[in-house]
Amino acid sequence: MARRFAGRYRGRRRAAGSARFRSTSALERVLVLLVIVAVIGVTIGLVLPRVDGTIGVMTGRYQATGDAAQTLEGLRVQDRPRPGRQYRRDSFGFKQTDVDGNGCNIREDVLTRDLRQVRHTTPGGCKVSSGILDDPYTGKTITFIRGERTSADVQIDHVVALENAWKSGADTWDTARRYRFGNDPYNLLAVDGPANQEKGSASADYWLPPRTDYRCAYVARQIGVKDKYGLSVTSAEKQAMMGVLHGCPGQPLPSDE
């Protein structure tokens, strides 16, 4: 009798323990599902506006404030531009004019402007022999030393690439205007050579600087250059620019000194 009672007691205890285990397991599963749903929701909210342009527009992903955004709104939009002539880089005469009349070509002027601790090959001369670049595109600190194997470590980038300008309206310019554009310090930056090569002639919808906290300034300069020269943007390019400016409310245009 006692043994039967003890057996029933142990059975009830095991049943109660099993019920508690099942209850705990069910609660854990619910909590895990809630976490998964929350993660999916956050992911959709962050990623989907960037993937789907329509959703991005609806959610304000491509709205921005400030001078750069207002100027961008005023640029002519032209998709699939058809230049009247074939692009030729040498049509812009890079390094073939002396913009400020100091006797130096524009590459040396930009190196002198953008590098620190600059030394020239001769006192008062044009050619930069060495200096240090705080690269805006990558954030790296680059020691520039003039030489056959080292000069290309720092290159001069046309922020609005020459081929992009050609497709955006420069194909109709006369030689003098193209030369002014090709040697305009406002459109030129000393940058990391490999980053410049990676960019090529890409517009903002295909390439942005790896250093994310410089993208607002980069896009703002592109907009300023295009506004200065009356160049157009494509719909995709404009949307990409607005997407960047959305993250920096009130972004100004860089001054053109």
Let me know if 7 is exposed, middle or buried by CB neighbors in 10 A (0-12, 13-18, 19+).
exposed
Half-sphere exposure of 211 (CA within 13 A, CB side): 16
pLDDT digits (tens, 9 = 90+) for 90-128: 999 999 999 889 999 999 999 999 999 999 999 989 999
Q: What percent of the chain has pLDDT over 90?
A: 71
Nearest in space to 165 (alpha carbons), one of 189, 183, 138? 183
6: pLDDT strictly greater than 60: no
pLDDT band for position 82 (cuts 50, 70, 90): confident
pLDDT band for position 177 (cuts 50, 70, 90): very high
Task: Please report the pLDDT score of residue 137 as a whole number.
Answer: 98
Tokens of 135: 């690269």
Task: Please report the pLDDT score of residue 57 as a whole number.
Answer: 53
Work out the average pLDDT over 169-191: 97
Let me know if 23 is exposed, middle or buried by CB neighbors in 10 A (0-12, 13-18, 19+).
exposed
Let me know if 110 is exposed, middle or buried by CB neighbors in 10 A (0-12, 13-18, 19+).
buried
Average pLDDT, the chain: 86
Task: Please report the pLDDT score of residue 44 as a whole number.
Answer: 47
> Considering only 39-48, 190-199, 248-257, which range has the smallest mean pLDDT?
39-48
Q: Which residue reads 């000194």 in tokens?
A: 257
Tokens of 241: 């620019």
28: pLDDT strictly greater than 60: yes
**pTM for this prediction:** 0.77
210: pLDDT strictly greater than 90: yes
> Considering only 78-82, 118-122, 159-163, 252-256, which range has the smallest mean pLDDT?
78-82
Percent helix, strand, coil in the chain (nearest 5)? Answer: 55, 10, 35
Q: Where are the alpha helices (DSSP H) in the chain?
A: 2-51, 53-58, 67-74, 106-114, 162-167, 175-182, 193-199, 215-229, 235-245
Task: Please report the pLDDT score of residue 21 as a whole number.
Answer: 47
| CA dist., res. 112 & res. 125, Å (int) | 11
Nearest in space to 75 (alpha carbons), one of 190, 248, 198, 203? 203
From the CA atom positions of the chain, what is the Rg in Å? 30
